[in-house]
Amino acid sequence: MARRGLRSNRIKDKDPEEKKPQKLEFTYQFKVKETKELLEFLLEKMNTSRNVCKQLLSNNQVLVNGALERQYNLMLAKEDEVKISKRPIHDDSFNKKPKKRNINRPKKIDIIYEDKDFIAIDKPEGLLSIENGKDIVSAYSYVSEYLRLNNKLDRPFVIHRIDKETSGVLVFAKNPYVQSKLRLEWNKYVVLREYIALVEGEMPKKSDRIVVNLLEDKNNMVYVAKGHDGKTSITNYEVIKTDGKYSLLRVLIDTGRKNQIRVVLANLGHPIVDDDKYGSKTKTIGRLGLHASKLIFKHPFTNEELVFETRFPKAFNIIK
């Protein structure tokens, strides 16, 4: 078994002057369904000439996953998002090197593992896994710029995500073939998804397995559904330690639903500390008390078991 993790390189953030963001309007937005080159994809989707597509690229009118793209032979992967701007983009915030600073933006990101197929980071809390259209600064943009320092055609490929407010292990593939195989059959290859959670109160049991269905409302709030509505979620926890006021938990999930751990624990009456979205009344550690501590999956081609892990933040150590 190959063991990965706890090696620390850093992706550093340089801090130039801020500029007023350019307001963008998009003519087209596409979701990629299969691996192919960017130019081939644009020709297929836009039904126009090769020269027109190349002109869009050279004019700074094409974004891939929120970053400006000029390379016609960039390899796209399943679930990538391609946007075509109505006008050339001059806003530096959309360059591949993330430049726009906000209060939650980290000064560095630790790389915990890298080989020819994968790169794993310890994502800080407050940083998106990938851009969402409103906030383009993301772990994806940092890793993208880091990889392109070696080769301008290199880029990360999304395998999984963790919440913006959650810190911890986030892994990207480095080629579309590995990514596509993993995304297509993720549950077949994933072995373990472990989190450390700091919650309010003392849990009713030392360990438990919770199976509930989850639904999301129009305000993007996830909740436990009644009856058979929604998507099944499976959450396992065990208490590491407690002082009655707080409990530190090891949480293993068999499903990866949006906000799953936060919703399930809040539904038990023990919300994660500082999670005011799901009912926490405390301001205990100044951040969400949830950390993705370990991810294990099998390489889709070699079947090697890969283990990626990070230590949970010191701020979680409030129980004596």
Residue 245 lies in a domain: yes
| Residues 169 and 217 occupy one common structural domain | no
Across 52-63, b (16+ Cβ under 10 Å) vs e yields: ebeebbeebbbb
Q: What is the mean pLDDT of residues 209-216?
A: 94
CA dihedral 193, 199, 203, 206 (to 10 degrees): 40
Residue 24 lies in a domain: no
**Containing domain of residue 153, as a range?**
108-186
Q: Are residues 201 and 269 in the same domain?
A: yes
Of 130, 157, 186, the one marking the end of a domain is 186
Our CA angle for 59, 149, 77, nearest 5°, is 65
122 is catalytic: no
Instruction: Name the residue among 97, 113, 116 with its Cα closest to residue 105.
Output: 97
Domain boundary among 126, 154, 186: 186
My answer on whether 285 and 181 are in the same domain is no
The pLDDT-based confidence of 104 (bands split at 50, 70, 90) is: very low
d(CA 76, CA 55): 19
Q: Do 237 and 267 form a contact (C-beta atoms < 8 A)?
A: no
The more confidently predicted of residues 146 and 291 is 291
SS3 label, residue 178 = helix
Regarding whether 128 and 196 lie in a shared domain, the answer is no
Task: Report d(CA 181, CA 77) in Å as an integer.
Answer: 10
Q: How confident is the model at residue 218 (pLDDT cuts 50, 70, 90)?
A: confident
Catalytic residue of the set 163, 208, 243, 254: 163
The answer to whether position 63 is within a domain reads no
Is 144 part of any domain? yes
Give the mean model confidence (pLDDT) for residues 275-296.
94
- Among 72-86, 181-195, 243-257, name the one with the lowest average pLDDT: 72-86
- State the pLDDT at residue 20: 54
Q: Model confidence over 29-50: pLDDT tens digits?
A: 898 887 788 998 999 898 889 8
**Confidence bin at 97 (pLDDT 50/70/90):** very low
Domain's final residue, options 163, 186, 209: 186
**Residue 23: pLDDT band by 50, 70, 90 thresholds?**
low
Residue 99 CA to residue 113 CA, distance in Å, equals 25
Nearest Cα residue to 171 out of 92, 213, 112: 112
Q: Is residue 34 part of a domain?
A: no
How far, in Å, CA of 193 to CA of 287, rounded? Answer: 21
Residues 239, 299, single domain; the answer is yes
Residues 312 and 205 in one domain: yes
Per-residue pLDDT tens for 259-270?
999 999 999 999
Dist CA 236 CA 252 (whole Å): 5
What is the structure's pLDDT at 251?
A: 98
CATH of the domain at 166: 3.30.2350.10
CA distance 111 to 302: 23
Q: How far is CA 214 from the centre of its chain?
A: 20
Q: Is 288 inside a domain boundary?
A: yes
Same domain for 159 and 217? no
181, part of any domain: yes
Residue 241 and residue 159 share a domain: no
Least confident window among 44-48, 104-108, 239-243, 283-287: 104-108
CA distance 44 to 77: 15
Q: Same domain for 213 and 263?
A: yes
Name the residue among 100, 132, 80 with its Cα closest to residue 21.
Answer: 100
CA nearest neighbour of 39 among 72, 76, 82 = 72
> pLDDT class for 151, splitting at 50, 70, 90?
confident
Residue 103 has pLDDT above 70, yes or no: no
Q: Would 233 be classed as within a structural domain?
A: yes
Instruction: Give the global pTM.
Output: 0.75
Query: 144 and 204: one domain?
Result: no
